[in-house]
Structure 1
Amino acid sequence: MSDYAFQLLAIVLYMVAMLAIGWYAFMRTKNLNDYMLGGRGLGPAVTALSAGAADMSGWLLMGLPGAIYVNGLVSAWIAIGLTIGAYLNWLFVAPRLRVYTQVASDSITIPSFLDNRLRDNTKAIRIAAGIIILVFFTFYVSSGMVAGGKFFVSSFGYDYHTGMLIVSGIVVAYTLFGGFLAVSYTDFLQGLTMFLALITVPLFGMFLTGGLGDTIDSIKAVNPEHLSLFASTATVAGVVSSVAWGLGYFGQPHIIVRFMAITSVKETTAARRIGIGWMVFSLVGAVATALVGVAYYQQNGSELADAETVFITLGQILFHPFVAGVMLAAILAAIMSTISSQLIVTSSALVEDIYKAIFNKTANDAHYVFIGRLAVLFVSIIAAFLAWNPDNSILDLVGFAWAGFGAAFGPIILLSLYWRKLTNIGALAGMVSGAAVAFIWGKVPSLASALYEIVPGFIVCLLVAVIVSIATYKPNKEIEGEFDETLRRLKMEK
């Protein structure tokens, strides 16, 4: 077999595995709670790795190594900020959100939780949050489809549209039928694949570059500041902006929905340890891959045409073509895991937060599961239409969407879990103002270059929500009762 055939075989086997998991999840999906939240029965390992895989996307295997390859460790501040943010998210949000969403009328989406938690009879929060999720995640899904198409172009020379349709078709199929369980199980396998690939490549690569000492010497020969977090190119505003990416975690629906699905509060501790361990090793592996790549190309007197392909090229140099194909599957896993997670959250928003809220229709679970599957198909078609042109600037919206979700939802989630006096009007005002500030700030070049838009957006959302809530607060025995019940269950279950 040719190298091409071995690599393609690995990709095909990977995709067949994804479809098989989707079928298994389909057979286990009996009602709407199963389809949208897996029946709140995920174990800690699946919860942790599926959250990590849904989070990182192709950035972990291509974007971060590419930035480190070009700029050195000064580009690692984003990774540091994300690790801190993820840890705090697991520590402060996961346990309370798991309990509170069940206490608050067994809410299965973030907007429905806010609606139930704050007794918003107008449904304004639910609809507004659902629309925000629908719009931004449609573009997010589209960007993943673009990445999938370009993956097949760069790896196998396929036509862009063929590659995009292959990736989209596989992801849509297992998400459409298997729902949240399929997404979580496939994300678990994808997270494991990414982890093993990111550990293996730099370890074997260092043998090729002569060990740790020779590798460091070669990197310094390229640029003496390449191994410094505080290189001359670093600025205070730049470091703050990079670390501030961690704030986004509190408001990412496709990540924190995993906290709602875990079996129990007790399992969140184990899940946190697994998740943060996975994240640290994976990020270190991504950074090490880039640095080994710098040393390898310095020693061989050659240049890498595209810095973001350093993981791919090292995998092809180091391993048998079939193993290199598994490395390529790891990149595909990163892309597909994020698309599927965003699809299921968008489907949930359409059904639970827009369809139910607007039409106020009462039907059996089979009807809502059917509507949920139609929603996945609808969003996928729109996203594929947006992704059809590979030269679109859709990918530019990914960073904005992270900031938008973090600024719109992050402070509101934290306040809803820890502050009794948050009101529906305060939450709505904070959500809208945070999203607006993040949007406007991100679209003004002078502001965006000075400070990442999530910082002012997060602060404004927090201040507005607190001030408006204080002005509009009225005691509510039901809200107070649920808050106390959440604290009681937390003490019992820990």
Structure 2
Amino acid sequence: MALDLFVVLVYAAGMLVLGYYGMRRAKTHEDYLVAGRNLGPSLYMGTMAATVLGGASTVGTVRLGYVHGISGFWLCAALGTGIIALNLFLAKPLLKLKIFTVTQVLEKRYNPMARQASAVIMLTYALMVVVTSILAIGTVLQVLFGLPFWISVLLGGGVVVVYSTIGGMWSLTLTDIVQFVIKTVGLMFILLPICLYRVGGWDELVAKLPASSFSFTAIGWDTIITYFMIYFFGILIGQDIWQRVFTARDEKVAQYAGTFAGVYCILYGLACALIGMAAHVLIPDLDNVNNAFAAIVKASLPDGIRGLVIAAALAAMMSTASAGLLAASTVLTEDLLPRVRGGKQSSLGVNRLFTLLTGIAVLGIALVVNDVISALTLAYNLLVGGMLIPLIGAIFWKRATTCGAITSMTLGFVTALVFMFKDGLDANTPIYYSLAVALVSFVLVSVLSRKPGAVVAGAA
């Protein structure tokens, strides 16, 4: 494995070098958080796709393909269609606002208290997105190189923390482009064809797997609907994704390049599901299906090529990890920190400090959580259950009030937590009940708390 390790180390060193170049371009607060709002089509498309396709999308979809067949692609399909909808329908109004965080929209529509309440939910979501990808990084390094899990987490996650801290969004953009190219080549053009070759070709894959593996609904309609409820809507309101939208030069860049990124996500999901299906044929008695990706890479690829594919997987994971890390630190410095500093806005130095501190905290959390899809589901359940209803209400309902929004956020967030604890992270009940409670409380409290004849400021 020495050659593979060398390839991975070269990749990691390259990410740090790109982080340094990003640091040289990040000269202002706006450069650090949103790359100066000046990305063109190529950079925007690459960074948008790289942000979404991380550890859960790669390792998780291969696992789903191993267990459920081609229908495992629905996780990435939900993410991809969310990206398309966001860029086609929401990018234009978002770019006009010239803001940094999702929660600033709630402040404009309601009041500062709504912004603070939603910031707590958004921070929790962003932290868990980072944890998900760092877990995936640790799993891959542990299985392939035989490293202790904690060392794998600290090494892989440490690289992400360093390059994200020093250069902010410019570092993320530069590394995302390289990561986008590496994972496209490594996973779609190298690993997938080799896996199919090892199986004996498409006909052999069809012959050796049950017919249900080729059904696009084998995973179950309830799971497909839940993926869209969680991931499609989560993409529409996630800070890590909105922050990428804010980097676009103009609305045309966002609409066309963003749509291409969404289509790419769907194709990527199909490729990863097929890799999982091939893994099921080649390694039918895998002890832990969470290790399906690492196991198929280890079993089917020669030295050197294996290192390139490992780097491709790490690229997918690191891009999402860095996006979530910057999103979490941005929420801290833009939404929460000014509250305790008397309204004083954060500087470039403060942004860097809090990105570093957030990164250290995330590495600690990653050492005590152990399932990539469960961690991602936790993040999106809390985000969608807590924020989807008040955010949609802020845009479309004139009678919505601050009391209604805060009550909805609180009860939706708590309901999601309760049902995840009661029924498990993989259950459908957390998202359904949290949305139902959030909707009912939002409408009732808004109607009861609105003064007769009052005009809601900012209503569309």
User: TM-score w.r.t. structure 2 length?
Assistant: 0.89
SS at match of 2:304: helix
> Residues 133, 273 of structure 1: CA spacing in aligned structure 2 closer, same or farther, 3 A cutoff?
closer
Aligned pair 1:475/2:452, yes or no?
Answer: no
Q: Distance in 1 between matches of 2:292 and 2:427?
A: 29
Match of 1:323 in 2: 305
Q: Pairwise mapping of residues 224-303 of structure 1 onto structure 2 (< 5 A)? A: 224-231=211-218, 236-245=221-230, 246-297=232-283, 303=285
Deviation at 1:178, TM superposition (A): 0.3
Q: Distance in 1 between matches of 2:89 and 2:362?
A: 34
Q: Distance in 2 between matches of 1:143 and 1:254?
A: 14
Match of 1:97 in 2: 94
Q: Distance in 2 between matches of 1:183 and 1:177?
A: 10
> Residues 252, 119 of structure 1: CA spacing in aligned structure 2 closer, same or farther, 3 A cutoff?
closer
The counterpart of 2:435, out of the listed 438, 458, 465, is 458
Q: Distance in 1 between matches of 2:49 and 2:131?
A: 20
Query: Is the deviation greater in 424-433 or in 28-37?
Result: 424-433
Instruction: Judge conservation of contact 2:248–2:254 (CA < 8 Å) in 1.
Output: yes
Instruction: Judge conservation of contact 2:79–2:265 (CA < 8 Å) in 1.
Output: no
> Residues 62, 462 of structure 1: CA spacing in aligned structure 2 closer, same or farther, 3 A cutoff?
same
> Residues 407, 94 of structure 1: CA spacing in aligned structure 2 closer, same or farther, 3 A cutoff?
farther
Aligned pair 1:386/2:403, yes or no?
Answer: no
Q: Indicate the RMSD between aligned Cα atoms, in angstroms.
A: 2.8
> Residues 148, 296 of structure 1: CA spacing in aligned structure 2 closer, same or farther, 3 A cutoff?
closer
Q: Distance in 1 between matches of 2:427 and 2:125?
A: 24
Instruction: Judge conservation of contact 1:25–1:181 (CA < 8 Å) in 2.
Output: yes
Aligned pair 1:170/2:159, yes or no?
Answer: yes
Q: Distance in 2 between matches of 1:303 and 1:237?
A: 27
The counterpart of 1:376, out of the listed 341, 349, 355, is 355
Aligned pair 1:112/2:98, yes or no?
Answer: no
Deviation at 1:176, TM superposition (A): 0.9
Larger Rg belongs to = 1
> Residues 416, 97 of structure 1: CA spacing in aligned structure 2 closer, same or farther, 3 A cutoff?
farther
Deviation at 1:139, TM superposition (A): 4.4
Aligned pair 1:402/2:380, yes or no?
Answer: yes
Instruction: Judge conservation of contact 2:19–2:166 (CA < 8 Å) in 1.
Output: yes
Deviation at 1:12, TM superposition (A): 1.3
Instruction: Judge conservation of contact 1:45–1:274 (CA < 8 Å) in 2.
Output: no
The counterpart of 1:71, out of the listed 65, 68, 73, is 68
Percent identity, aligned pairs only, is 22
Match of 1:158 in 2: 147
Aligned pair 1:193/2:175, yes or no?
Answer: no
> Residues 16, 30 of structure 1: CA spacing in aligned structure 2 closer, same or farther, 3 A cutoff?
same
> Residues 273, 131 of structure 1: CA spacing in aligned structure 2 closer, same or farther, 3 A cutoff?
closer
Amino acid at match of 1:180: M
> Residues 211, 277 of structure 1: CA spacing in aligned structure 2 closer, same or farther, 3 A cutoff?
same
Amino acid at match of 1:244: M
Deviation at 1:49, TM superposition (A): 3.0
Q: Extract unaligned runs of 5+ from structure 2.
A: none
Instruction: Judge conservation of contact 1:144–1:336 (CA < 8 Å) in 2.
Output: yes
Aligned length in residues: 455
Q: Distance in 2 between matches of 1:53 and 1:440?
A: 32
Deviation at 1:273, TM superposition (A): 2.5
Deviation at 1:138, TM superposition (A): 3.4
Deviation at 1:267, TM superposition (A): 1.3
Q: Distance in 1 between matches of 2:398 and 2:355?
A: 35
Amino acid at match of 2:44: T
Amino acid at match of 1:113: V
Q: Deviations over 1:92-139 (max 9, x none)?
A: 22222222x22xxxx211122321x2251xx21222222223344334
Amino acid at match of 1:58: G
Q: Distance in 2 between matches of 1:243 and 1:436?
A: 21
The counterpart of 2:193, out of the listed 203, 209, 213, is 203
Q: Distance in 2 between matches of 1:244 and 1:436?
A: 18
Instruction: Judge conservation of contact 1:148–1:164 (CA < 8 Å) in 2.
Output: yes
Amino acid at match of 1:195: T
Deviation at 1:165, TM superposition (A): 2.0
Match of 1:492 in 2: none
Q: Distance in 1 between matches of 2:68 and 2:390?
A: 36
SS at match of 1:321: coil
Q: Deviations over 1:441-473 (max 9, x none)?
A: 222218x77624223323433443344445527
Q: Distance in 2 between matches of 1:413 and 1:191?
A: 31
Q: Distance in 2 between matches of 1:13 and 1:393?
A: 28
Query: Is the deviation greater in 369-378 or in 316-325?
Result: 316-325
Deviation at 1:270, TM superposition (A): 1.2
> Residues 331, 450 of structure 1: CA spacing in aligned structure 2 closer, same or farther, 3 A cutoff?
closer
Match of 1:137 in 2: 126
Q: Extract unaligned runs of 5+ from structure 1.
A: 484-494
Q: Deviations over 1:29-70 (max 9, x none)?
A: 121111112121122333333233222321222221112212
> Residues 213, 405 of structure 1: CA spacing in aligned structure 2 closer, same or farther, 3 A cutoff?
same
> Residues 392, 303 of structure 1: CA spacing in aligned structure 2 closer, same or farther, 3 A cutoff?
closer
The counterpart of 2:35, out of the listed 22, 35, 38, is 38
Deviation at 1:417, TM superposition (A): 3.7
Instruction: Judge conservation of contact 2:65–2:73 (CA < 8 Å) in 1.
Output: yes
